[in-house]
Structure 1
Amino acid sequence: MNELFRQHCEACRADAPKVSDSELAELMHQIPDWQPVTENGVLQLKREFKFKNFKQAMAFSNRLADLAEAEGHHPAILTEWGKVTVNWWSHSIKGLHRNDFIMAAKTDALLEA
């Protein structure tokens, strides 16, 4: 587990700072399986998780939903047969906040659950 996994989300206001380019580079090292992508003009973190079937993919999605509710930060989740695609970003700032990296690390840990 990395240090991000041990942290918790903080309330993110509309005037909260987005991560800087140097912070982005540093934080990406801690979640190497994620990709920074721009979708609809918003920088996001994206990862695709593979599973053997729909039932396993759905179980992962449900664990992720429980985690998101507990932390008060919610991703875009696309559940398909054998695959779950997750996008994290902070809606209030229309970009990436440290919270998104924390949640990406916590999402990775769900694979071990």
Structure 2
Amino acid sequence: MSRLAQTSCEPCSGNAIPLSYSACQQHLQTLPEWQIIEHDGIMKLTRHFTFRDFANAMAFSQRIGDLAEQAGHHPVIITQWGKATVTWWSHEIKGLHLNDFILAARTDEVAE
């Protein structure tokens, strides 16, 4: 288990400040398969996963859904035949928070 995945998520209120671009880049170094995209002026953390078939992609998506429910933090998950795309960001602060990187690391562990 990675150090980032072991980190506890902290409650994120609407008063929290999104991470700066440079802080995001530092965290991204520990998540080489992830990338930061900007959509509607909001930085988001995304990764594409590939699978043998739809059933495996769907099972993965369900595991990520379970992970999200436990954390009380919910990504966008797009499930297709043989692939799934997961995108994390903190909706309330319209940007990235440390929690997004923690959950991306936990997503990687679910994928293994």
Give the TM-score category using the shorter length: over 0.9
Q: Distance in 2 between matches of 1:21 and 1:91?
A: 17
Q: Report the TM-score when normalising by structure 1.
A: 0.95
- Give the equivalent residue in structure 2 for 1:87: 87
Q: Distance in 1 between matches of 2:35 and 2:6?
A: 21
Structure 2: which 5+ residue stretches go unaligned? none
* Aligned residue-pair number: 112
Q: Report the TM-score when normalising by structure 2.
A: 0.95
- Give the equivalent residue in structure 2 for 1:75: 75
Identity, % of aligned pairs?
Answer: 50
RMSD over equivalenced CA pairs, Å: 0.9
Structure 1: which 5+ residue stretches go unaligned? none
- Give the equivalent residue in structure 2 for 1:55: 55
Q: Distance in 2 between matches of 1:62 and 1:98?
A: 23
Q: Distance in 2 between matches of 1:68 and 1:83?
A: 19
Q: Distance in 1 between matches of 2:104 and 2:91?
A: 15
Q: Distance in 2 between matches of 1:87 and 1:111?
A: 14
Q: Distance in 1 between matches of 2:103 and 2:40?
A: 21
- Aligned to 2:23, what secondary structure does the other structure show? helix
Equivalent residue runs for 1:11-50 within 5 Å: 11-50=11-50
